[in-house]
Amino acid sequence: MKSSDAKLNDLVLRRTLQENGHRYTDQRAAVFRLVAHSRVHPTAEDVFLGVRTEVPGISLATIYKSLETLVSCGLAKKLNLDDGSARFCGRTEPHHHARCLTCGGVSDVPGELGDLEVAALRSQAGGFHLVGYELELTGYCSDCAPATGNGAGASAN
Amino acid sequence: MKSSDAKLNDLVLRRTLQENGHRYTDQRAAVFRLVAHSRVHPTAEDVFLGVRTEVPGISLATIYKSLETLVSCGLAKKLNLDDGSARFCGRTEPHHHARCLTCGGVSDVPGELGDLEVAALRSQAGGFHLVGYELELTGYCSDCAPATGNGAGASAN
DNA sequence: GTATCTGCAAATTTTTTGCCAGTAG
DNA sequence: CTACTGGCAAAAAATTTGCAGATAC
């Protein structure tokens, strides 16, 4: 998070926006910075509150618009984590999301599915042209772990 | 979908509700039937419109309450597929969901992740106590498939 | 100079809640 | 009986939209 990093990210943002026919604005830059650095999968409201310290006059509508712009450029991802509002993620490394069934917190789990697994999915999917995936793990975070010591059994759907 | 099947499902519903301290009602039964048989991942509104033909006086609020009851008993799942409203799924066999980036349609993909993959996830997840997962595939359905013939590259997050 | 963007307020959409009468167990 | 439910209407929460002035390029 050195200044040179910040400058680089800014250039990436500038270029990506341009490539997608959008303009660079302070508001978008501030939203991008916050989302890219956040580790907490902020909601639009969270982003609003955070960015407002940097760009005091910004409005919630602009946050929504900026986030949609970033998502459409692939600079951020919209997560659907089943708690009222959408959450956003600006991390670029491949990772999954683990949601605690008790406290609702979401943490990142680094890694991606193996090539074999992806190949299997692709063949299972038949005529569907697979482009990407999003894996949400459910369970209990270390703070909320249930007393029962049991380490087996995770099931799809 | 023979009558004996229906009767069996009804018994399962009755028992499961009871086990979870809830009562069996016609409204819940109708919601359950519709969700269990539907292949289209209906929204609450969809369920409302469908069930209303069977239980004309039912209200949307009751649909929401019934769906939540079913989800809390594990008889249905709430999906977060990034289109305005939540969708529900009553299928019991393990499967994933494939969402088309063009038309927004969601289809089921049978199967589940391999044991090795799950074990790997569990270890990557560190202190997180893994209970289940939900895998959403993104891409293009056979109707919307892009012209470019390319079969490689699906990425996490 | 002009098309795009922001901020504001109002509108929409989705989901939740309080309350009372009705019903399952 | 009594606690749990359903229906209704109102409320809350989340997101989108229209528009006029401001701004990037």
Task: Report how far residue B43's alpha carbon sits from residue B79's, in angstroms, rounded to the nearest whole number.
Answer: 9
Query: Of A95, A118, A151, which has the smallest distance from its Cβ to B154's Cβ?
Result: A118
- The architecture in CATH of the region B93-157 reads 2-Layer Sandwich (3.30)
Q: Per-residue pLDDT tens for A118-154?
A: 999 999 998 899 999 999 999 998 888 765 544 445 6
Residues B73 and A95: their CA atoms lie apart, in Å, by: 30
Cβ separation of A134 and B129 shorter than 8 Å? no
| Top-confidence residue, A94 or A146 | A94
Amino acid in the structure at residue A49: L
Nearest residue to nucleotide D16 when comparing alpha carbons to its C1'? A61
State whether residue B139 is helix, strand or coil: strand
Q: Are A125 and B98 in contact, with CB atoms under 8 Å apart? A: yes
Interatomic distance B86 CA / D25 C1' (Å) = 41
Predicted pLDDT of residue A4: 63
Q: What is the pTM of this model?
A: 0.85
The residue-averaged pLDDT of B43-55 equals: 96
Looking at the domain A1-92, which fold is it?
A: Arc Repressor Mutant, subunit A (1.10.10)
- Cβ B41 vs Cβ B87: under 8 Å: yes
Domain boundaries, chain A: 1-92, 93-157
Burial of residue A108 (number of CB atoms within 10 Å: 0-12, 13-18, 19+): middle
Q: Which tokens hold the place of A54?
A: 């940097």
Can you give the pLDDT at residue A66?
Answer: 98
- Asked if residue A6 has pLDDT above 90, the reply is no
Question: Which residues of chain B neighbour A128 with C-beta distances below 8 Å?
Answer: 98, 100, 107, 109, 137, 139-142
Q: Which residue has the higher pLDDT, A49 or B39?
A: A49
Position B20 confidence tier, pLDDT thresholds 50, 70, 90: very high
Which nucleotides along chain C are within 7 A of a protein C-beta? 4-10, 13-18, 23-25
Give percent above pLDDT 70 in chain B: 90
User: Given a cut of 70, is residue B4 above it in pLDDT?
Assistant: no
Separation of alpha carbons B87 and B103, rounded Å: 16
Tokens coding B149: 């013939």
Are A37 and A1 in contact by the 8 Å Cβ rule? The answer is: yes
The arithmetic mean of pLDDT across residues A88-112, rounded, is 87
User: What's the rounded Cα separation, in Å, for the pair A103 and A101?
Assistant: 6
Average pLDDT, chain A: 88
Q: What percent of chain B has pLDDT over 90?
A: 65
Range with top average pLDDT, A101-105, B21-25, B130-134? B21-25
Return d(Cα A23, Cα A18) in angstroms, integer.
6
Under the banding of pLDDT at 50, 70 and 90, the label for residue A43 is very high
Residues whose CB falls within 8 Å of the CB of residue A105, separated by 6 or more in sequence, listed in order: A99, A141
pLDDT at B154: 60
Binary contact (A122, B154; C-beta < 8 A): yes
Only one residue has tokens 């050195």, namely A2
Least confident of A14-28, A64-78, B10-24, B131-145: B131-145
Answer yes or no: are the C-beta atoms of A134 and B156 closer than 8 Å.
yes
Is the CB of residue B105 less than 8 Å from the CB of residue B99? Answer: yes
Distance C18 C1' – B66 CA (angstroms)? 18
Q: How far is A71 from chain B (nearest CA, A)?
A: 12
Res B147 pLDDT > 60: no
Q: Tokens at residue A101, please?
A: 């069934």
Q: Please count the residue pairs, one from chain A and one from chain B, whose beta carbons lie less than 8 angstroms apart.
A: 187
What is the model's pLDDT at position A155?
58
Q: Return the pLDDT at A126.
A: 86
pLDDT in tens, B83-94: 789 999 998 788
| Higher pLDDT, residue A150 or B122 | B122
Q: What is the pLDDT of residue A151?
A: 45
> In chain A, what residues touch B112 (CB-CB under 8 Å)?
155-157
Tell which residue, A17, A3, A145, A156, has the closest CA to residue A75: A17
Residues A63-79, mean pLDDT to the nearest whole number: 95
